[in-house]
Amino acid sequence: MKSLLPLLLFTLSSLFAASTGVEIKSVDPLNDVGLLLIVVGMSFMILEVFVIGFGILGIGGVIAFTVGSILLFNADTIPLVVAFSLVSLAFFIMLIRLYLKSRFIKVVVGLDEMIGLKGQVVDVTDAGYHVLCHAEIWSATSQVKLRVGESVQVVGLSDLVLEVKPLKE
């Protein structure tokens, strides 16, 4: 549903622009180029929703739409074209910022998430240790002798067995 929201907003704003009585200039070659640029711009903006374009398709679509609209429509509709272009550009800039922000979010699942977590030794066995880490009891090994109740830190993971070291307090 989230991926259809930009398409819906774009369609509604396009219908609004069409319903406001926007006049098209007289027939000349620039009209064809303008119409083509508008279609290419809309296509790029719609394609941005479905293809990972990192915002480049969206911004290119806004530029093509703006230039095409300026070539195609009368001068009195320029404020409408500029308003639509600025709203679309703001949307795609926001989209790029969200993408870039998501690149630096800490991993919360998988092997990488376990490294560095703190735990506590709950049992000592001949094969190693049982460690309470991340609200789960894991089998663990250590190069240092550990005792029950000692705090440890995960330094590795191999075949669902944690490699831990004592935590210096």
The pLDDT score that the predictor gives to residue 137 is 93
Distance between CA atoms of residues 81 and 85, nearest Å: 6
Work out the pLDDT band at 128, boundaries 50, 70, 90. Answer: very high
pLDDT tens for residues 113-126? 888 899 999 999 98
The mean per-residue pLDDT over the stretch 23-43 comes to: 72
The mean per-residue pLDDT over the stretch 35-46 comes to: 86
Residue 97's H or E segment, with its range, is helix 78-102
Q: Is the pLDDT of residue 143 over 80?
A: yes
Q: What is the mean pLDDT of the chain?
A: 80
Q: How many whole angstroms from its chain centre is CA 109?
A: 18
The more confident residue out of 77 and 38 is 38
pLDDT tens for residues 93-105? 887 888 788 888 8
The pLDDT score that the predictor gives to residue 93 is 83
Q: Is the pLDDT of residue 17 over 90?
A: no
The pLDDT score that the predictor gives to residue 21 is 53
